[in-house]
Amino acid sequence: MKGYLMALDQGTTSSRCVIFDHNGNTVASASKEFPQYFPHEGWVEHNADEIWESQICCARLALKKSGLAPAEIAAIGITNQRETVIVWDKATGKPICPAIVWQCRRTAADCERLTREGAAEAVRARTGLPIDPYFSATKLKWILDHVEGARARAARRELLFGTVDSFLIYRLTGGKVHATDPSNAARTLLFNIHTMQWDKDLLQLFDIPAAMLPEVRPSCGVFGHTDPALLGAPIPVAGVAGDQQSALFGQCCFERGAVKNTYGTGGFLLMNTGDTAVTSKNGLLTTVGWQIGDKVTYVLEGSVFVCGAAIQWLRDGLGLLSTAAESEAVAASVPDTGNVYFVPALTGLGTPYWDPYARGTIVGLSRGTTRAHIVRATLEAMAFQTIDLLDAMRQDAGVSIPALRVDGGASANDLLMQMQSDFSALPILRPACIETTALGAASLAGLAVGVFRDLDEIRQNIAVERTFSPALPESDRQARLRDWHRAVERALKWAEA
Ligand code: ADP
């Protein structure tokens, strides 16, 4: 069966829709930003109706641009910002309060209390995650405890909970389907990634009524059909995955040991660990990549908080650059950093250091240091931070990594990609289609409805645009990594005093 595939890519700051043909070529796309709300220090909210409006608007716009008839769309795949919590009225589909976004820290004290009470180990054993405000459970509990009447209404089964995928499925199917996929469920702290079910003990721990939860179905399969009034035809919603997992799938990282890194605002490295949920000793998350049929693929995930954001800071905070893209030419105007190292711990450090008190540090400055050296050191830091994640993964998974696939806005920077290859001694594979997040969801949907026979057919759709090969002698590489780690030492614990 041939046909076109529509991906709905619901991100943190914008909603996108991309329509692909069965060869993975982009036929049309549209995107729309939506408002962010910061009602208190550390709080981040979205309006779920605005998420929906922006998303459906993009879908209609992309469809119109494509010139296709709605019936030519064989299936829709959804990929989404993860962990964000929406609670809505089962009868009307209306959200009962603002969506609490993954970035929101309002439940930090609740998480600290649960950790003090000794819950962390059991939670990690079942979910693969630490207890952190980042994940959904404490946000959902917050809504039940703080929105007037919410707990009583939930007890009367009048309210439903979902992450963004689940809310979109509900709206797309005209309120007929309340479901999610394991890659999203696995980010809630309520889902047992070994039994692949909502976990009764965790529901009790976080005080969440089971009746609110969506049904967890495989990432690849028909969840339901769109209400024909929305896009002009009933279209199967047939693939769902959280954004990072979707990018891993879109990059065709189907084998154990396959790794992708996304260079966006933050950096996200994910490794396919096959049918094994690997427990990390280095602060990586263990989570679900996707489920196809009965087959669950697990992943290890590591993140750096500040990746492309370091370039943004040079541009907006320091005024050293006028555009992010300019960083490449400025950095290339000098042969090296003149021994300058920048540790962009602007919001602390994540994997593998996990130090909220680390702060941004520039070391090795001399009279000869110029703007170009600092810009170059920033690009190098983006590569070095990725290497720390790669090393953590190698140790945890005990597999060798053959190559690194890359995507995200900053992967367009050739110099950065060459640095990444040099410092990691790995080939870096940059795909021709940089819409890997959308492509992943579309591919899952296409697999579900028979646009693709199997994973091999999907693999034919991903072309490598450019491979960067390591060119730095090993002794130089080791010396550079040693100095990077010396610089990190100086950034750690800075704000603790
Ligand atoms: P997100 O999806 O997280 O918003 P994107 O994938 O769009 O991020 O990437 C944008 C980030 O990448 C920004 O932080 C920007 O500073 C950085 N960036 C974009 N282009 C370049 C470039 N050519 N060189 C270095 N950094 C870049």
pLDDT, tens only, 238-289? 999 999 999 999 999 999 999 999 998 889 999 999 999 999 998 899 999 9
Number of domains in the chain: 1
Nearest to 128 by CA among 44, 202, 214: 202
Residue 95 Cα to ligand 1 middle (Å): 32
pLDDT, mean of residues 476-491: 97
CA-nearest of 172, 166, 224, 173 to 190 is 166
pLDDT digits 0-9 by tens, 331-363: 999 999 999 999 999 888 888 888 878 899 999
Q: Does residue 178 contact residue 113 with C-beta atoms inside 8 Å?
A: no
In-domain check, residue 357: no
Q: Whose CA is nearest to atom 15 of ligand 1?
A: 308
| Candidate from 161-170, 327-336, 396-405 with smallest mean pLDDT | 396-405
Which residue type sits at 420?
Q
Report the alpha-carbon distance of residue 124 to residue 126 in Å, rounded.
5
Residue 406 lies in a domain: no
User: Does residue 56 lie within any of the structural domains?
Assistant: yes
In a domain? residue 12: yes
Percent of the chain with pLDDT over 90: 85
Amino acid at 405: R
**Tens digits of residue pLDDT in 23-43:** 999 999 999 999 989 898 888
Asked if residue 497 has pLDDT above 80, the reply is no
Dist. CA 314 → ligand 1 center (Å):
12
pLDDT tier for residue 312 given thresholds of 50, 70 and 90: very high
Q: What's the mean per-residue pLDDT of the chain?
A: 95
Coil, helix or strand at residue 268: strand
For residue 112, what are the domain limits? 4-243
Instruction: Evaluate whether residue 370 is within a structural domain.
Output: no
Angstrom distance (rounded) from CA 448 to CA 50: 29
Residue 312 domain flag:
no
Q: Which atom of ligand 1 is nearest to the CA of 307?
A: 14
Contact 390, 401 (CB under 8 A): yes
Asked whether residue 13 carries a pLDDT value surpassing 90, the answer given is: no
Among 53, 35, 56, 33, CA closest to 44: 35
Rounded distance between C-alpha atoms, residue 481 and residue 420, angstroms: 12
Report CA(410)–ligand 1 centroid distance (Å): 4
Q: Which CATH number do you get for residue 119?
A: 3.30.420.40
Q: Which of 172, 162, 168 is CA-nearest to residue 236?
A: 172
Q: Terminus-to-terminus CA distance in the chain, angstroms? A: 63
Q: Is residue 278 situated within a structural domain? A: no
**Residue 371: CB partners within 8 Å, gap ≥ 6?**
320, 330
Predicted pLDDT at 1: 56
From the CA of 39, how far away is ligand 1's center (Å)?
27
Task: Report the candidate in 484, 435, 446, 323 with the shortest Cα–Cα distance to residue 18.
Answer: 435
Structure tokens, 183: 């890659």
Ligand 1 atom with the smallest distance to the CA of 311 is: 16
In a domain, 476, yes or no: no
Say yes or no to pLDDT of 474 above 90.
Answer: yes
Mean pLDDT to the nearest integer, 111-126:
93
Please give the average per-residue pLDDT across 81-86, as a whole number: 95
In 3D, which of 307, 327, 496 has the Cα closest to residue 388? 307
CA atoms within 13 A on the CB side of 347: 14
